[in-house]
Structure 1
């Protein structure tokens, strides 16, 4: 039983103990449930206009409460403190994060296969329920005393097609693990989590984060190059990571396919693009370049706007600066906007568009006049000179008929 920090019970039930985690919008406490006599973790959010909106907060929590999987940190309860701070009661995973586990260097390949398959299983369950995590990273993967991973921190998760629960002006996700579509400000779906998990597994294998630098530098770099997959990796693992971190979301496998490939070592069954999508590609290519230009214009970000715009707007995801803006930061931000504009046009252009085949020139056909057919009962005229066409003696001219 954790030692309480004060005698006051949260919601008349929970004894708050020491802080075990601090995030951008919440603090996680170790706590004790005095009613069910069990240790729990309580995520206490800061009071604010966005999170204080009870209806939106409750909708988000209900989505998370509907997820039940061994690889997830289960939601037990939710409520609001007397001073208006929302909180969520979670299952306590008393162990290190994957980030802390990687401090000693790269992990063994077999351990990464097992860990990755378990996280992919959890993501498959999440995606099957129409939820996208949007913030898969090492610090959000908790390891219990057996080393089993648990996916945590669904604070940025949302149901596909629903209103996003995100504080205005903050980036949706963590810069080092964002998918390209998140950077472009496009809608996200389950492939976004697959990309982030691919970067996490790659970091476990190499011992370093693939994209580094300032937040803006990190964001821009993924638009210019794909992750570097080491040559020494097993062939199946290298191919799987390449598919998981593909630039286009439609080229990435599902979470279920990733879990199977990590367990079996077989990637031949991983079909990045289903047949239906292939047929759709052919139709898009047949539509021509004008359709691609129209789509690119529709999704391309408009003029640069302040970071305080609502995150639902289709614009590049920028990080709220914690220090005064400098000229270098402004130049990097301008580079990000230019990169996303170019990337958006490239992304929407139909792949493998073939030039129209030249139409073969047809040679003019020679029309041969048909000989007149003789009428019945009429004897055909003899061939050669007629009866009036007698030979003209030399020196005489044939008189023409009037």
Structure 2
């Protein structure tokens, strides 16, 4: 039970959370609600969930990041996120059929812009893959699931190595780093490769040879496999190979640089060039996310002390009048059945008179 929402149906389930479709009462709209599973709530999971809520709230104004509507605690004490409902995912799309080249390049530029915005804010996603690229009701790609996001320069004593093997960079699989800008460049390129090829870069046609251990060994050697789909322009392999070098220092140095190559490829192929939209620089340093916050979140409570209301009560007893020379004069009104406050506003802008009778607004002249 979630106040202000009506349950519709389940959407999916994961290791730590379930996702349901709800209808919000006001404003009236459908929403995907991600709720922590009761048996999965512990300090580490709560920390990740708090960080996900904060990161998504901070970044979701970007057109290519899923919008978060609300985050709070359900009636049975389970934290939840209410997000925009997206009816499809890129994972489902590529499994039906490989995507057109123009669409993949467009998706790449949009996601690179979203990730560049996150990086400029000092945040890493750390789980870029097709199933975390949703398709909203307008058919546009949006990045979701910041559940294992982290600070770009985390100073914590320990690192959490969470990964989705087929799209993870070699250095992440070797646990040399839990994430970096260059490892995210790799993951985005591996995701785009998957959309074009219909499978992840290091998968083989023989599914028995695609266990996590076998994929990890092939990725660790990181010899770029050319796109297996016939008829694709060679420039696409050049583009993706530059982002999937085994040595991180040889990849594109930033998402902005990767986006430049994607947009140049669009131009060379005679395709519409997608706009690269990132947040303004002054936005990046505001409101840092606290990644180690394990506190229980709940309804907002006023932080205004009760004693501070005395000043407001005293102010109600003061009226402002105008003397013969047109200058404001303040005096204390007497207690009576009729209290009138005269407010002089703006010299030269006329006199505004607001009358309060027994505490209620009765006239404006």
- 2:272 maps to none
Distance in 1 (CA, whole Å) between partners of 2:44 and 2:192 is 36
Q: Conserved in 2, the CA contact under 8 Å of 1:237 and 1:262?
A: no
**Could you say which structure has the higher strand fraction?**
2
Determine the structure 2 residue equivalent to 1:78.
Answer: 71
Select 1:87's aligned residue among 73, 76, 80: 80
Unaligned runs of 5+ in 2: 204-209, 269-365
Asked if residue 224 in structure 1 is aligned to residue 221 in structure 2, the reply is yes
The structure-2 alpha-carbon separation of the partners of 1:79 and 1:207, relative to structure 1 and needing over 3 Å to count, comes to: same
In 1, the alpha carbon distance for the partners of 2:199 and 2:44 equals 38
Instruction: Check whether the contact 2:109–2:263 (CA below 8 A) recurs between aligned residues.
Output: yes
Question: Are positions 1:256 and 2:263 aligned together?
Answer: no
Are the structure 2 counterparts of residues 115 and 52 from structure 1 closer, same or farther at C-alpha, using a change threshold of 3 Å? closer
Q: Distance in 1 between matches of 2:62 and 2:55?
A: 13
Equivalent residue, structure 2, for 1:157: 149
Q: Does 1:182 align with 2:172?
A: yes
Distance across 2 between alignment mates of 1:92 and 1:167: 32
Residue 156 to residue 56, structure 1, CA distance change in 2 (3 Å): closer
Change (3 A) 1:224 1:267: farther
Structure 1 gap segments, 5+ residues each: 1-8, 269-402
- Give the counterpart of 1:62 among 54, 58, 61: 54
Q: Distance in 2 between matches of 1:56 and 1:137?
A: 19
In 1, the alpha carbon distance for the partners of 2:103 and 2:266 equals 17
8 Å contact 1:52–1:85 — kept in the other structure?
no
Count the aligned residue pairs. Answer: 255
Question: Using a 3 Å threshold, how does the CA distance of structure 1 residues 167 and 100 change in structure 2: closer, same or farther?
Answer: farther
Q: 1:77 to 1:266 in 2, by over 3 A?
A: closer
Indicate the residue corresponding to 2:240 in structure 1.
Answer: 241
In structure 2, distance between residues paired with 1:53 and 1:179: 24
Aligned to 1:372: none
* 1:220 CA drift (Å): 1.8
Structure 1 contact 51–57 (Cα < 8 Å) conserved: no
Rg comparison, structure with higher value: 1
Change (3 A) 1:196 1:216: same
2:313 aligned partner: none
- Aligned mates of 2:159, 2:258 — CA distance in 1: 32
Q: How far off its partner does 1:227 sit?
A: 2.8
Q: Which residue of 1 aligns with 2:201?
A: 210
Change (3 A) 1:50 1:182: farther
- 1:70-149 alignment runs, 5 A limit: 70-93=63-86, 95-149=87-141
CA distance in 1, matches of 2:167, 2:73: 31
Q: CA RMSD in A?
A: 2.7
TM-score, normalising length: structure 1: 0.58
